[in-house]
């Protein structure tokens, strides 16, 4: 499956850091300090052929109005599925508006993200991601790699749509950070539930666009076991030398990204990097490797990355839709024929997906 290809990409873009006996010499990514530094540490400087390009052209992505689909309008539903089909065959990225996600919930999700990343480093490190884990707080990858480090901080956690997991996110964050951050946990519990609901609706449109049963993919992901990530890219005084996130494809099924009003997302299309400007009213949706396999290769999972700037921090909320761990990823029979043989049949590998995601996301 394409997930193996992306694992190779991840291994090419980073090199494991040699263990050092002197723990005091380890580089620490403290955004409150480094954002003012005129000379950035060499570990964050990328090779010349991978450095960000200035003035990347805008990628033409459809802005899809989900209002008609959500209200049951069959004409609007078919039009939305057609736009999605065209985008997913080209590069796998599209925007959705009138998505049904509460505006206050979105505002709260951004507010509590700000609150978390503005905490002192020592306090954020209470949720520090441990070696071998894929959830928790990470300040760049300074403890794991020594070259091509990303200029970012992240907070990651799992979400499950199972009925008995109704407080999974809240409980995890309270356990890591203490009861004083319970409200943060509640906000992201609600946000993940909203993203799961939106994801299942988009799965219906994807099924229609591919000519399979409307409920096929919705039922496949109904009890999804997904990943949520908060991304924080502090200002960098040398943004032309580094990247917020290196080039990668998402190994999961579907990514729903909400950007703040600061640009930074870039997609590699037709041998050139293109930008997707922020639109606070919209979600950016992109196909991942797992859904590329489910579509039998008809829809694309595309390379993308994040760049940084010297003036403003950039923040984003990324929800990665994943099937239950025991699901077999195989395209529906309607997408397999003599002219289009089955490309893959494999179980979803959560460990591999989480490992690749721990190195990526925009």
pTM above the 0.85 mark?
yes
Torsional sign, CA 34, 37, 40, 41: negative
- Give the total number of structural domains in the chain: 1
- The SS3 of residue 135 is coil
Please indicate, yes or no, if residue 39 is contained in any of the structural domains.
Answer: no
- Give the containing element (helix H, strand E) for 358: none
Torsional sign, CA 218, 222, 225, 230: positive
pLDDT at 8: 37
Please indicate, yes or no, if residue 36 is contained in any of the structural domains.
Answer: no
Please indicate, yes or no, if residue 303 is contained in any of the structural domains.
Answer: yes
Does residue 54 have a pLDDT over 50?
A: yes
- The SS3 of residue 201 is helix
Rounded to an integer, the average pLDDT of 36-60 is 93
Structural domain range at position 295 = 57-360
93-97 vs 283-287, strand pairing mode? antiparallel
How far is C-alpha 241 from the geometric centre of its chain's CA atoms?
A: 23
Question: Quick one: which of 87, 33, 79 has its CA closest to 284?
Answer: 87
The one catalytic residue in 214, 314, 342, 350 is 314
Please indicate, yes or no, if residue 17 is contained in any of the structural domains.
Answer: no
- Give the containing element (helix H, strand E) for 219: helix 216-220
Please indicate, yes or no, if residue 198 is contained in any of the structural domains.
Answer: yes
- Give the containing element (helix H, strand E) for 342: none
Does the annotation count 314 as an active-site position? Answer: yes
Task: Give residue-wise pLDDT tens across range 276-311.
Answer: 999 999 999 999 999 999 999 999 999 999 999 999
Please indicate, yes or no, if residue 33 is contained in any of the structural domains.
Answer: no
Please indicate, yes or no, if residue 26 is contained in any of the structural domains.
Answer: no
Grade residue 341 by pLDDT with cuts at 50, 70 and 90: confident
Q: What percent of the chain has pLDDT over 90?
A: 76
Conformational region of residue 106, where left means phi above 0, alpha means psi within -120 to 50, and beta covers everything else: alpha
Please indicate, yes or no, if residue 44 is contained in any of the structural domains.
Answer: no
Answer for the pair 37, 237: CB distance below 8 angstroms, yes or no: yes
Q: The CATH number of the domain where 245 resides is what? A: 2.60.120.330
What is the full DSSP assignment across 38-106?
A: SS--GGGPPPGGGSPPTTPPBP---EEE-HHHHTT-HHHHHHHHHHHHHHHHHTSEEEEES----HHHH
Question: Quick one: which of 134, 146, 151 has its CA closest to 29?
Answer: 151
Residue 127 to residue 135: CA distance in whole angstroms: 9
DSSP class of residue 147 equals: S
Task: Give residue-wise pLDDT tens across range 138-195.
Answer: 998 776 677 899 999 999 999 999 876 789 999 999 999 999 999 999 999 999 999 9
Instruction: Tell me the helix, strand and coil percentages in the chain, rounded to 5.
Output: 35, 20, 45
Torsional sign, CA 221, 222, 224, 229: positive
pLDDT at 10: 41
Q: What percent of the chain has pLDDT over 70?
A: 86
Residue 31 to residue 108: CA distance in whole angstroms: 23
């Amino acid at each position: 499956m394409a997930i193996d290809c992306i694992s190779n990409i991840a291994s090419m873009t980073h090199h494991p850091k040699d263990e050092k006996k002197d723990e005091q010499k380890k580089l620490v990514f403290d955004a409150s300090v480094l954002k003012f530094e005129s000379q950035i540490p060499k570990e964050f400087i990328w090779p010349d052929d991978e450095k960000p390009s200035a003035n990347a052209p805008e990628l033409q992505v459809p802005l899809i109005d989900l209002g008609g689909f959500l209200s049951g309008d069959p004409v609007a539903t078919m039009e939305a599925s057609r736009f999605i089909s065209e985008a997913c065959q080209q590069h796998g990225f599209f925007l959705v508006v009138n998505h049904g996600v509460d505006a206050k919930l979105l505002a709260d999700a951004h507010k509590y993200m700000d609150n978390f990343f503005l905490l002192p480093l020592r306090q954020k490190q209470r949720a520090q991601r441990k070696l071998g884990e894929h959830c928790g707080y990470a300040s760049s990858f300074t403890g794991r790699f020594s070259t091509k480090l990303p200029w970012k901080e992240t907070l990651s956690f799992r979400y499950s749509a199972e009925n008995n997991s109704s407080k999974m996110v809240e409980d995890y964050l309270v356990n890591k950070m203490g009861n004083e951050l319970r409200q943060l946990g509640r906000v992201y519990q609600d946000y993940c539930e909203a993203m799961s609901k939106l994801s299942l609706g988009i799965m219906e449109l994807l099924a229609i666009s591919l000519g399979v049963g409307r409920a096929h993919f919705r039922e496949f992901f109904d009890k999804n076991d997904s990943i949520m990530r908060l991304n924080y890219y502090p200002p960098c005084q040398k943004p032309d030398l580094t990247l917020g996130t290196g080039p990668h494809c998402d190994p999961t099924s579907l990514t729903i990204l909400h950007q703040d009003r600061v640009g930074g997302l870039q997609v590699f299309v037709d041998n050139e990097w293109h930008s997707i400007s922020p639109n606070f009213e919209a979600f950016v949706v992109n196909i991942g490797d797992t859904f590329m396999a489910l579509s039998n290769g008809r829809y694309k999972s595309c390379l993308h990355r994040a760049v940084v700037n010297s003036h403003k921090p950039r923040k984003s909320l990324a929800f990665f839709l994943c099937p239950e761990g025991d699901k077999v990823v195989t395209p529906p029979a309607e997408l397999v024929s003599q002219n289009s043989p089955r490309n893959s049949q494999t179980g979803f590998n959560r460990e591999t997906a989480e490992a690749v995601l721990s190195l990526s996301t925009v």
